[in-house]
Amino acid sequence: MKFSDIIGHKENVDMLKSMVINGRLPHAMLFTGPEGTGKRLCACAVAASLNCLEPAEGEPCGKCASCTRLACGNQPLVSFVGSLKKEEEIKIETPSGGVLIKNLVPSSSDGEKRTVKLSIKQVQEVIRLASLKGYRDGKKVFIFDDTADASLPAMQSMLKVLEEPPPATYFILVTNREVSLLPTIRSRCQRVEFLPLNRSDMGRFIEERLPRARSAPEAVEAASGSPGRLTRYVNARKVLLSNVPPEDFFSEVSDWISCKDPDEPDLEEKMMMLLEIEAASFRKSPGEENCRRVIIIEDALRDLRKNANADLVVSDMFLKLGAVDLGQVN
């Protein structure tokens, strides 16, 4: 995980690197901005940079013991705390090797493993870990992911840690709903804003990381500068974008329905994404074709909610959408 993995946000990256180099990184920071713009990745790069054994101008090397451990989710100095909705770990792939994010589970309770909201027990675990003596000159980093979901008691105990951070300990709060945080928490943190990527950075993201999006201009438009959202949209349109040969069509659709990848949203969420993309296209150019696509997806969603056979409904939907794309619908 390196800063160079982050597309866009040059000012933020330069500022964070220089704060790490000069030992002036604030102990509490708030990374705020729309979803999918790279806040979490940037927090990981900060954690990597702080602990890298051979950094170059603040850029982590990606090869030392600390960087390697972070890539495999085994860096004990770096903890992720928050709501990983379905799974406890997520691998984010990047050109320099990526990072495995494992959600911090309080050692005291098993039942909380799949917690969606940040819980008070997780915060207590953070306090416990933060108070442990660090080894050598390692820096502890706690990345709070989507803290806006936290309960009030959890936020209140978080506030206490932020008020008196132990030495060599850093807290990075990542959120796309800043207003849901307690004002007292916000005021303790240095705010770093992540704006949507501009056209040229989105273009670079597509060329380097998601070439499939080249044939989905409507998804690019609907993603409004968020690489994370674009990735999800493109995955939602996968069947349409991959030129599936007719003999493989039904197995592709089955794969799409089964949502095997743990990081994948469930079927209804995927359908909603398809609908968002098409609705955005329709708002931009309210032509007959775009209207037709919206109706096809709405019909399919309605049928699914009535518990119709998902294979049939979804294959029918993709066939109809494909026909519209090919201009075969009159």
Q: Which residues are at the interface with Zn ion (CB under 5 A)?
A: 52, 60-61, 64, 67
What burial class does residue 193 get, using C-beta atoms within 10 Å of its C-beta: 0-12 exposed, 13-18 middle, 19+ buried? middle
Residue 2 contacts residue 48 (beta carbons within 8 Å): yes
Residue 266 contacts residue 259 (beta carbons within 8 Å): yes
Residue among 95 and 153 whose Cβ is closer to Zn ion: 95
Residue 123 contacts residue 115 (beta carbons within 8 Å): no
Min dist CB 55 to Zn ion, Å, is 6
Min dist CB 49 to Zn ion, Å, is 8
Min dist CB 69 to Zn ion, Å, is 10
Residue among 75 and 176 whose Cβ is closer to Zn ion: 75
Min dist CB 17 to Zn ion, Å, is 14
Min dist CB 67 to Zn ion, Å, is 3
Residue among 66 and 115 whose Cβ is closer to Zn ion: 66
Min dist CB 62 to Zn ion, Å, is 6
Residue among 33 and 60 whose Cβ is closer to Zn ion: 60
Min dist CB 52 to Zn ion, Å, is 3
Residue 14 contacts residue 4 (beta carbons within 8 Å): no
Residue among 52 and 313 whose Cβ is closer to Zn ion: 52
Give CA separation, 311 vs 252, 268, 314, in Å: 10, 13, 5
DSSP-derived secondary structure for 224-291: TT-HHHHHHHHHHTHHHHTT--GGGHHHHHHHHHHT-STTS--HHHHHHHHHHHHHHHHHHS--HHHH
As a whole number of angstroms, the distance between CA 130 and CA 7 comes to 31
How many residues are given for the chain? 330
Q: What is the 3-state secondary structure (H, E, C) of 182-236?
A: CHHHHHHCEEEECCCCCHHHHHHHHHHHCHHHHHCHHHHHHHCCCHHHHHHHHHH
As a whole number of angstroms, the distance between CA 32 and CA 173 comes to 8
Question: What DSSP designation does 179 have?
Answer: G
Residue among 94 and 115 whose Cβ is closer to Zn ion: 94
Residue among 43 and 162 whose Cβ is closer to Zn ion: 43
